[in-house]
Structure 1
Amino acid sequence: MITKGDRINARWILRELNSVANDLAYKGRLAWKHISSVPSFLCHNQTHTLHVSQCPCARDLPQSF
């Protein structure tokens, strides 16, 4: 049997999940805005979000870049 307390608990859990989802969506939009504003292309090592000229692994790239 579902009690009033269970309903309140479920509502609270849904509110928390919604809050987390909104937070992740916001961070995702910020990250995309940052990535799309980086000129040229990103370093081939996806852990860096630097322009290729500042990429620490740029020495591994062909000189044509």
Structure 2
Amino acid sequence: MAYKHTNSKGVTYYLHKTDVELRGGKKQTIYFFAKVEKNAKGTPTDLPADRVVKENPRNGFLTVSKKK
């Protein structure tokens, strides 16, 4: 079951992750939100314990960042 979050505008987004390779050859996992639960660019995932969801108050854009 993917993590889902409804922003202040009332739109529901689902958390996805994908593994990418950086220019230097290092592998990195990126997290992103999509309006659909199944997305071709990533796999649905749960929110990791070391991450927190933040919302831009102006436009309702969701981001995932590490806990401080």
Name the structure where strand makes up a greater proportion of residues: 2
What is the TM-score of this pair, normalised by structure 1?
0.21
* Higher RCO structure, 1 or 2 (CA under 8 Å, sep 6+): 2
Answer with 1 or 2: which has the greater Rg: 1
Richer in helix (by share): 1
